[in-house]
Amino acid sequence: MTMNNNSKVVLVTGCAKGGIGYEYCKAFAESNCRVFASDIEKMSNDHFSLDNIETLQLDVSSNNSVESAVGAIVSKHGRIDIVVNNAGIGNSGPLVELPIDMIRKAYEINVLGHLRLIQQVVPYMVDQRKGTIVNVGSVVGTVPTPWAGSYCATKAAIHAISDTLRVELKPFGIDVVLVVPGAIKSNFGRNNAKMLEKYDNEWKIYEGFRNVISERANASQGGKATDASVLARYVANKVLSPRPPKVIRFGHMTGLFSLLSWSPIWVRDLFFSTRFGLNKKI
């Protein structure tokens, strides 16, 4: 694939194989971008088959790691045109029984990890008076669900951060795009279910709800879930357009959640309490 000085330099976080970030990297690379695929684990360059994807280790929860990764890219290419804040972890379970350390870790990665990278990259984008920041939210950032309250809260924070940054960065020619995926088939949902297994035996108040809690952890991986590669190509095309949209909603169940976001609170409560086994007193 031919690369030139006009090729966009793209940094994507959370790129473990089998995840959505991995597909974002391939989608941008197929659009003739120079892509830096980063993950907390060390990856080799043969992780990807395309020669315009380079890998680097980046822990979004570490200031030094983020500064080092951004510095290495800028030193090599002189700029970063697009950042895709995709790194994140899930955590399922009743909010009143989730370990605080687990909730804190989700905020550290899902929220502060985004901001940490943004704060390192924005000064370079300000100097060049252009750039695009892509933050990955979720349909549950607008309409939270039972048994995933901590994760929903982190995504709601990303929505608020994106809305703020979009206005604050406009004078410098920097676009901010909020991606709102629906149910996407990837390793993220499977890893979420595995993480739940570590805490499944700790529920005391909600011991009788283990089955529906587990069902919620796997909810995004149903047979109708959108393939991660389809989402990634759609997002890459939109982000690389001359005027990127402010919000990209895509994937299975986005229509349902849009409807629920406009519904009265009692309708939403009734829907979720019925769907997740909370419609009767114990």
- Cβ atoms within 10 Å, residue 246: 12
Residues belonging to the chain? 282
Contact 221, 149 (CB under 8 A): no
Segment (H or E) for 155: helix 149-168
Spatial distance between the Cα atoms of 120 and 126, rounded to a whole number of angstroms: 11
Q: Which residues are catalytic?
A: 151
Among 37, 41, 39, 35, which residue's Cα sits nearest to residue 14?
39
77 contacts: CB under 8 Å, gap ≥ 6: 9, 34
Per residue, the 3-state secondary structure of 72-113, as one string, reads HHHHHHCCCCEEEECCCCCCCCCCCCCCHHHHHHHHHHHHHH
Q: What residues are paired with 174 via a beta bridge?
A: 131
